Structure 1
């Protein structure tokens, strides 16, 4: 991805580009699952992390030149979109600041595969459970902070409360289930304890982090994009969709490896001769799952989601024109 942008970013002294591209909307049709999936495959592409500072600045320059109408004529539409994707992967959409490396969406796969792999390898002892659940929730906090809204930033206090509650929930769930399954369940069931802990943490972390939206509502607009108010019920639906996406996103990487690892352990394949191979093997399996699960699960619900006007609060619904039947909102990630 990063190495594909190799054009002269300087402005031509005689001609400028005649490209007509809407960089404010995704390149692919967001009304279809396949279009949303293609969009998120570009957003979460781990290869974007390999881009140098020079390549990132070149991509930023191309995007800014196009917005100013000064893009050189030798830049193609594909090169412009490659620059836009690389720019979006590294720079905050509201503030324009370069984002912390491991907090970027393109870092989701390599970071999650490593943390999840180690969390699922070392899940039996109390110190290991506490340590890896803490590491996992610390990474989630970094992602949440890095991708915070620039117009309506999440207060540090809210992030802190969310971090503490999610870590407590994940650790408590893991330790509690470990104590139950070690006596009454098969070893395979025990391998699913980390997934239950992650699911519990998501159910607490995301609503807590976005608690102001549940209290004050999120912006809603009509089909033409005109803002028509704020709705708490829209916020509740948006947060529910994000929680479902996050839990489903974790399923392949945390449901498939336990079956493979348990089978290999029972058969004595590889692990008896090379006991150190458990962690890297599990990380690799999870990585393959997450490469596909991350973008595909982000695409389950449209980024610009919608709901019927009849489901809105009465005070919000009464202010809308009678012709409005659906409202639209950004569900978040």
Structure 2
């Protein structure tokens, strides 16, 4: 019971926020980015109304142009910035559809994670949960991509089909190999089945990111100088952006699909769950939610969203087009 109470408190802290992040953290350090994204992915921003969003955007515009109404506090400005960054895409300035925002991943991904960790899955259930997981991932990757270049619907459909088919194939293949490993005891096979989702999801996530954002590799992404002016379109920067995003997708499922099986293997031996087997799934859901609440900000904090790269490492025409030693680009989330 003490462990469950601690888990509840921890889940509320990482999944809802503690309300103390009113000052802007430094985004040059991992800890600063972690605090920043922990605030941005606050699921309470999902319930911000359209009128409140417009108010927040207008408040930031007034601040930018020096026309702030009297009495506006720093806390209100940071609150407006939090709302805008959680809802508005930085490249298109359009509203991101709620299920595909980073602040919505905790709620919409919870069901998928619990399904992926269910023991004794059939081939049909494995295909279903992997399809659901990778379909959501594909839409999140697309909604939070670098959108400096227009992408036609046909490219999205091609990327989606390729991402989902490859991801599901990897996951099903690994699960079939485990199920056919007759040399393992039932207990060992069950333990392996619990850990199979991690390499399956991690490798599938890489395919998902690359296929959903492959147009960036073909057309390049905009890079900006220190004054925010577009210097050019770089394929090299696009490669860096996709590599960094792919690495975050490898780290993201690690705490979610590795920690819950370990914790549950311990909790299932307690007298509480032995005498109440119906509580196993709710407890597992709680553990998964806490793990995901920690994993998401940790993963997306690995690299800055606005990444920096030396101009000498980019295409010669871009290096010659600016005097800045470094340029920045939106790597996406």
Shorter-normalised TM range: 0.7 to 0.9
Separation of aligned partners in 1, 2:232 and 2:58:
36
Question: Is the Cα contact below 8 Å between 1:148 and 1:154 reproduced in 2?
Answer: no
The partner residue of 2:280 within 278, 281, 286 is 278
Match in the other structure for 1:262: 265
1:305 is paired with a residue whose SS is: strand
Distance 2:158 2:279 in 1: 37
How many residues align? The count is 308
Is 1:206 aligned with 2:214?
Answer: no
C-alpha distance in structure 1 between counterparts of 2:228 and 2:120, whole Å: 48
Q: Are 1:216 and 1:232, in contact at CA under 8 Å, matched by a contact in 2?
A: yes
User: 1:36 matched to which residue of 2?
Assistant: 33
| SS of aligned partner of 2:24 | coil
Q: Which position in structure 2 is the counterpart of 1:23?
A: none
After superposing the two structures, state which structure 1 stretch, 224-233 or 39-48, moved more. 224-233
Structure with greater proportional helix content? 2
- Written as runs of structure 1 = structure 2, the 5 A alignment for 1:1-333 is 27-67=24-64, 69-121=66-118, 124-147=121-144, 151-182=148-179, 183=181, 184-185=183-184, 186=188, 187-265=190-268, 267=269, 269-313=271-315, 315-316=316-317, 319=320, 325-333=325-333
Deviation at 1:170, TM superposition (A): 2.4
Q: Which residue of 1 aligns with 2:7?
A: none
Whole-Å separation in 2 of the counterparts to 1:327 and 1:142: 28
Relative distance call for 1:123 and 1:248 in structure 2 (3 A) is farther
Q: How far off its partner does 1:174 sit?
A: 2.0
| Contact 2:206 2:249 (C-alpha < 8 Å) held by counterparts | no
Give 1:132 shift.
0.8
Offset of 1:60 from its aligned partner? Answer: 3.8
Instruction: Say if 2:163 and 2:212, in contact at 8 Å, map to a contact too.
Output: no
Regions of 4+ moved over 6 Å: none
Match of 2:13 in 1: none
TM-score computed with the length of structure 1 as normaliser: 0.80
What are the Cα deviations for residues 89-110 of structure 1, in whole angstroms up to 9, with x where unaligned? 2344455544322122211122
> Within 1, Cα distance between the matches of 2:154 and 2:120?
30
**3-state SS in 2 of match to 1:191:** helix
So what's the TM-score if we normalise by structure 2? 0.80
Distance 1:192 1:134, change over 3 A: same
Structure 2 unpaired stretches of 5+? 1-15
**Pair 95,232 (structure 1): closer, same or farther in 2 beyond 3 Å:** closer
Secondary structure of the corresponding residue to residue 228 of structure 1:
strand
Distance 1:81 1:225 in 2: 22
